[in-house]
Amino acid sequence: PDQRGVGDSDKPPAGYRLEDVANDVVGMLDALEIPAAWVVGSSSGGYVAQQLALDFPERLRGLVLVGAPRSLAGRDPFGRILETFHDPVVAEDIDALNEGLDLSSAIRGEFLDVQNAAALTIPRHVWLAGYRGLIEAAPPTETGVIRTPTLLLNGADDDLLGSSEAAALATAIPISRQRGYANTGHF
């Protein structure tokens, strides 16, 4: 499914806080009549999954967090880049963001093409609000205890978050197992 503001989803002016995005996942589960599911969250999607586990633990069978942050508090690596985005967003904006991400050359071009095409469907206001919703949110593991069984996967060479985030999550989530992958970055 596309998140709010992405692809063919509605692009309202508000509703991009971490809690809002977690509520959207529950809305999707309700619409599909799925009482409980395994949830996989990659990168910032892992932050959303953590919030989901706190707010709706009964809806989860388990979590898989891939390259997920434990905390984004105090981090603002992309705010300046996003502020320069055009309205509507153009390919040069996405190129600037990708340069800021310092993407590994090991990422397949076909994968990047799909990601870049999806990124162009996101209006500037959604980029800004979604980003603010993440970096301004209280880290889920600091507002409660995630009791959902969790598998933590991370790249040992994570160049965006650092490999220590997975270890911090493993400490914060009592029922968790961590697996790092050598020679693997964030993406």
Q: Transcribe 126-159 into DSSP letters.
A: HHHHHHHHHHTSPPHHHHS---S-EEEEEETT-S
Q: What angle do CA 164, 112, 16 make, to 5 degrees?
A: 65
Range 55-81 average pLDDT:
96
Range 70-88 average pLDDT:
94
Q: For residue 75, what are the contacts with CB-CB under 8 A and spacing of at least 6? A: 135
Rounded distance between C-alpha atoms, residue 172 and residue 168, angstroms: 6
Range 59-78 average pLDDT:
95
Band (146; pLDDT cuts 50, 70, 90): very high
Answer whether 25's CB lies under 8 Å from 3's CB: no
pLDDT of the residue at 103: 67
Per-residue pLDDT at 104 exceeds 70: no
Rounded distance between C-alpha atoms, residue 170 and residue 32, angstroms: 31
From the list 71, 56, 63, the residue with the least C-alpha distance to 26 is 56
- Tell me: the pLDDT tens digits for 155-184? 998 888 988 899 999 999 999 999 999 988
Residues facing 154 on adjacent strands = 180
Residue owning tokens 């395994």? 38
Per-residue pLDDT at 105 exceeds 70: no
pLDDT of the residue at 108: 84
Tell which wins on pLDDT, 8 or 109.
Answer: 8
